Amino acid sequence: MLFIIIFIICLNILVFIHELGHFLVAKRNGLKVEEFGMGIPPRIFGIKKGETIYSLNALPIGGFVRIYGEDGAHIEEKNSFASRPPFTRAKILIAGIVMNLIFGIMLFIIGLNIGIPTVVDEKNIAYVKDIKLSVLQVQKESPAETAGLKMGDRILKVSYGKEEVLNPSVEELQKFSKSYIGKEITMNIERGKQNLEIKITPRETNDENQGAMGVVIGETGFLRYPFFKTIWEGIKYGLGLFVNIFVMLFIFLKSLIFQGKMLGEVAGPVGITVLGSETLKLGIGYFLQFLATLSVYLAAINLVPFPALDGSRIFFTLLEKIRGKAVSPKIENLIHSIGFAILLFIFFIITYKDIAKLF
């Protein structure tokens, strides 16, 4: 429970960073910010400082910045969002995205100084320490899932009777499991700071995509660069991840809209909280990497031009710049309302699936 609470606090820090971006750029441009709220209303507590109410709200996930005139009203007043030219509005809208991206890159840089978990390859092997065979994926309804193996488990030893293999390679583990099909073997693993003993029974399978134990394995270690190299590598990794996530989100939306299905395993707030708390148990390196990825993910998803997201509002400001006139505030607000309803619907479906997985 403690790990879940810690992760929820960290998740809200990412939201705070995002909303702080909108807030700071809006204030810098002389706009009136009516409220800076953490959580989702109804309001529990609020204090007014200057012209802004700083509030704490009932549902402890999420946040918002309410800028005067963001609904298109009060266009004649200088401190109104609607009164400012498209470029200024676009700067305010994109500020939250930029803040999340920068924060994610900073976490990657810190992580690369401490050491973050990574799959070993020819490019990074010189900088990877403590290399061991690890579980990268556990297939559903497999011997590995039944035995309780989890993604991130590091395999220290595998044995049957008097025969054992210490720190096995991929080939050694595959050969060992095939040698004892239908027999219970012992696997000693490292999970975070725990050393555990797992009993697993390899199966007979003709499926090329399904191994005897039902796991994807690979050599992993902790990637740590020299200090000055971490800055460049952190920036490169963060930006590359941002582009990849942005592209995958478009593929996801295309699949959802035109085929009516979700691709792969999609997690909502409940699933992310459970996964985040699990990575926290594994160690600071795992947790920093997960939190950094999540921050970059928030940046990417908000840039997608889907109604109700920052990307859609940026799109409308660019459209206004090209056309020379704004889309009717009523029409734009209606489009965002429909988009918000769709996002809410997707949110409930994903949350339902996340909760169902827990039972």
Q: Count CB neighbours of 56 within 10 A.
A: 14
CB count within 10 Å of CB 279 equals: 23
Reported confidence tier of residue 94, pLDDT bands at 50, 70, 90: very high
Q: In this structure, are 19 and 155 located in the same domain? A: no
**Mean pLDDT on 146-170:** 90
Mean pLDDT of 239-267: 75
Give DSSP secondary structure letters for 85-133.
-HHHHHHHHHHHHHHHHHHHHHHHHHHHHH-EEEE--TTTGGGEEEEEE
Mean pLDDT, residues 182-211 taken together: 85
Are residues 124 and 138 located together in one domain of the fold? yes
Whether 109 and 237 map to the same domain: the answer is yes
pLDDT for 116 equals 83
Q: What is the mean pLDDT of residues 342-359?
A: 72
Whether residue 51 sits in one domain with residue 140? no
Is 266 found in the same domain as 152? no
Full domain range(s) for residue 174: 119-223
User: pLDDT band at residue 55, thresholds of 50, 70 and 90?
Assistant: very high
pLDDT at residue 208, rounded to an integer = 63
Write the DSSP string, 170-197. HHHHHHHHHHTTTS-EEEEEEETTEEEE
Question: What's the pLDDT band for 73 if we cut at 50, 70, 90?
Answer: confident
Regarding pTM above 0.75, the answer is yes
Residues 19 and 109 in one domain: yes
Burial tier of 257 (Cβ tally within 10 Å: 0-12, 13-18, 19+)? exposed
Spatial contact of 59 and 47, defined as CB atoms under 8 Å apart: no
The two tokens of residue 269 are: 């707030």
Q: For residue 166, what pLDDT is reported?
A: 92
Are 211 and 236 within one domain? no
Check whether residue 110 and residue 123 sit in a common domain. no
DSSP state of 83: G
Q: Which range, 76-90, 209-223, 271-285, has the best average confidence (pLDDT)?
A: 76-90
Q: Decide if 301 contacts 249 (C-beta within 8 A).
A: yes
Residue-wise pLDDT tens digits, 207-248: 666 678 888 888 888 888 888 889 999 999 999 999 998 988
% residues pLDDT > 90 (the chain):
44
| Segment 6-30, tens digit of pLDDT | 778 888 999 999 999 999 999 999 9
Q: Are residues 176 and 153 in the same domain?
A: yes
Confidence at 204, pLDDT banded by 50, 70, 90? confident
Quote the number of domains for the chain: 2
Residue 172 sits in the same domain as residue 188:
yes
Flag the least confident range among 159-163, 258-262, 273-277, 289-293.
Answer: 258-262
Cβ-proximal residues to 339 (8 Å cutoff; 6+ apart), any chain: 306, 307, 308, 309, 312
Between 256 and 56, where is the model more confident? 56
- Residue 98 in this model has a pLDDT that exceeds 80: yes
Tell me the mean pLDDT in the region 168-189: 91
Q: Which residue did the predictor score with more confidence, 129 or 93?
A: 93
Q: What is the reported pLDDT for 35? A: 96
Question: Does the pLDDT of residue 354 top 70, yes or no?
Answer: no
Query: For the chain, how are helix, strand and coil distributed in percent, rounded to 5?
Result: 50, 25, 25
Give the largest Cα separation in the chain, rounded: 84
**Where residue 149 sits, what CATH number does that domain have?**
2.30.42.10
Q: How far is CA 88 from CA 7, 30, 116, 299, 313, in A?
A: 34, 11, 38, 19, 12
Assess whether 268 and 125 both reside in one domain. no
Q: Which of 223, 240, 263 is the last residue of a domain?
A: 223
pLDDT of residue 261: 60
Select from 198, 223, 248 the last residue of a domain. 223
> CA-to-CA distance for 262 and 327, rounded, in angstroms?
32
- Cα-Cα-Cα-Cα dihedral of 69, 70, 73, 77, to 10°? 30
The answer on 109 and 237 residing in a single domain is yes
Q: Is the pLDDT of residue 48 over 90?
A: yes
Only one residue has tokens 């990637």, namely: 223
C-beta atoms surrounding 132 within 10 Å: 16
Mark which of 223, 251, 278 sits at the end of a domain: 223
pLDDT of residue 61: 81
**In this structure, are strands 194-200 and 185-191 parallel, antiparallel, or unpaired?**
antiparallel
Amino acid code (one letter) for 291: L
